[in-house]
Amino acid sequence: MTSQRAEYRRLAQSAEVGVVTRGQLAVLAHNLPCTGLINATESHLLVTLINTAPGEAFEKAGRPIIFKSNQQLAFEINRSAGRVSRMLSSLFDTGLVTMQDSGNYKRYPVRSAGGLIVDGCGIDLRILIVRYRELDDLVRQAKAEKATARAALRRYSGALRNLRYVLATVADLSERARARQEARLERVVALVGTAAKASSGVLRRATALVEWFIERVLHLPRRPQVAAEAEAEAEESTCTYAENDMHKQTTTPDPIVNSNENRRSATAEQLSLLNAGSASQWAYETSLGRGSYQINQPKRLPHVVVALQDVLRAIPALRTYGFTLPRTWADLARLVPQMCCITGISDDARRCAVAQMGEQQAAVAIAVTLQKFDRQEVSSPGGYLRAMTDRAAAGELHLARSVFGLAARNLMETMN
């Protein structure tokens, strides 16, 4: 006897017999395995118990108490008596039956002078009457979630089939672009895993990604609602600096003590692009080539002042790839392994970036790499991140420039 079992017993005594029929309880017991509370064998035993009680036991003044022995129940469901004993104990712990055995573990009824059962030592089903609405709601919710998951699975499978067909039939798609889209598709499939076991939320996000890939392959115009969301997000972003309770918007990432050459406006970034796969002088971190600086220069820590909202405005690829927008820097850091998986950045490159820059700045660098990879400006995200790590080691990495430049570019694109 436990405190939970004692509570279930007291709850069963408050049951209003007559409000639920035996047929309703039998259907409920048959459907309970879909909620995960019990398995199919326990459901079979519970249905057998419900059908054992006469119909009038569930009417007013009735007592739905079962007095069959474990041996008899084992014979009826084709299981051993020990298995039945364990299943009854599990049903008691779950709150689907209550039991009260006599001192010698016998089950028998206590009848009134008129022959009606008023009490007894046996398996009491009144707890099911008390919890019927609660359990029925659980069954309905589980069925609705299952239907949603099936619908999401069908749409995901259809989107995969459509994208593969488009990749195989579009004639004006270059081999490089085709290989890039196929690699993206394989990453999405790998993140989803076994589609039949994935949640409906994961399948919906994956479907949105695949459908977006189709739109890009077919060169369809950008959806109006996507531009509206980006513009609204830009308007709601917080300012980087504040003074005397008045926000002052500034795009200068470096403090005033820095030289003028380190201070530039976000709109001063060059907005033209090279061909897809380029990651050279037009990237906002000017020339990440290894030969553009001396490795043995004295280490100089850059002054990076950038807000999380600025990062979110600069990296719309987070929304594109179905990530939940982070609310804190810790949330952004937790997205790093998934961003690395999408872009193909190795664990070694990620660890080197974290060791050199710190967790927060490494997360920003990887997010910038994800955005440029999405814009087809970087063909080797892992090499790009390693180059940024080398620049950080030499004190020549200015992530804020990249962030503000990307944010300005995205804002101008949404306005156009």
Could you give the angle at which helices 81-94 and 3-13 cross, rounded to 10 degrees? 80
pLDDT band at 282 (very low <50, low <70, confident <90, very high): very low
* Side-chain half-sphere exposure of 249, counting CA atoms within 13 A: 10
Residue spans of beta strands (DSSP E) within 206-325: 241-243, 246-248
pLDDT single digits (tens) 45-99: 999 999 988 888 888 877 888 888 889 999 999 999 999 999 999 999 999 999 8
Interatomic CA distance for residues 379 and 221, integer angstroms? 24
Cβ(138)–Cβ(192) below 8 Å: no
β-pair type (241-243, 117-121): unpaired
What is the SS3 assignment for 120? strand
pLDDT single digits (tens) 176-218: 888 888 888 888 888 888 888 888 888 888 898 888 888 888 8
What is the SS3 assignment for 70? helix
pLDDT single digits (tens) 221-243: 765 554 444 444 444 444 444 43
Residue 303 in tokens: 């002054």
pLDDT single digits (tens) 68-79: 888 999 999 999
pLDDT band at 105 (very low <50, low <70, confident <90, very high): low
pLDDT single digits (tens) 247-273: 444 444 444 334 344 433 333 333 333
CB atoms within 10 A of CB 231: 14
Cβ(107)–Cβ(147) below 8 Å: no
If you compute the radius of gyration of the chain from its CA atoms, what whole number of angstroms results?
32
At 211, the amino acid letter reads E
pLDDT band at 118 (very low <50, low <70, confident <90, very high): low
The more confident residue out of 131 and 266 is 131
Mean pLDDT of 124-136: 91
Interatomic CA distance for residues 4 and 383, integer angstroms? 59
Report which of 351, 346, 336 is spatially closest to residue 383, judged by C-alpha positions: 346
CB atoms within 10 A of CB 66: 19
Residue 48 in tokens: 């057998």
